[in-house]
Amino acid sequence: MNEHLLFFLLIIVASYAGYKVKALTKSGAFGAFLIGSSIYAGTGVKGLALLGVFFITSSFVSFLFQKRKEHVEEKLEKSSSRDIIQVFANGGVPALFSLFLLFDPTHKEMLTFLFAVSIAAANSDTWASEIGTLSKRKPRYILTLRKAEAGTSGAISLLGTFAAFSGALLIGLFFTIFWEEKVSALLFIAIFGFLGNIADTVLGATIQVEYKCANCGIHTEKTEHCYMKTKKIKGITFFNNDTVNVTAVFIGAFLAFLAFPYIQV
Confidence (pLDDT) at 195 = 98
82 vs 88: CA distance, rounded Å: 10
> What does the domain layout of the chain look like in residue ranges?
3-262
- Between CA 133 and CA 148 the distance in angstroms is 11
Cα–Cα distance measured from residue 99 to residue 204, given in angstroms and rounded to the nearest whole number: 29
| Helix (H) / strand (E) containing 211 | strand 210-212
Q: Output the tens digit of pLDDT for each of the chain's 265 residues.
A: 688 899 999 999 999 999 998 889 999 999 999 999 999 999 999 999 999 999 999 888 887 766 666 555 555 555 567 899 999 999 999 999 999 999 988 999 999 999 999 999 999 999 998 898 888 888 999 989 898 887 788 889 999 999 999 999 999 999 999 998 888 999 999 999 999 999 999 999 999 999 888 888 888 888 888 888 998 989 898 899 999 999 999 999 999 999 999 987 7
Of 173, 165, 89, nearest in space to 132 by CA: 165
3-state secondary structure 52-79: HHHHHHHHHHHHHCCHHHHHHHHHCCCC
| pLDDT for residue 89 | 95
pLDDT at position 75 is 56
pLDDT of 151 reads 77
SS3 at position 96 = helix
Continuous segment of H or E residues that includes residue 229 = strand 228-229
Q: Residue 224 has what pLDDT? A: 86
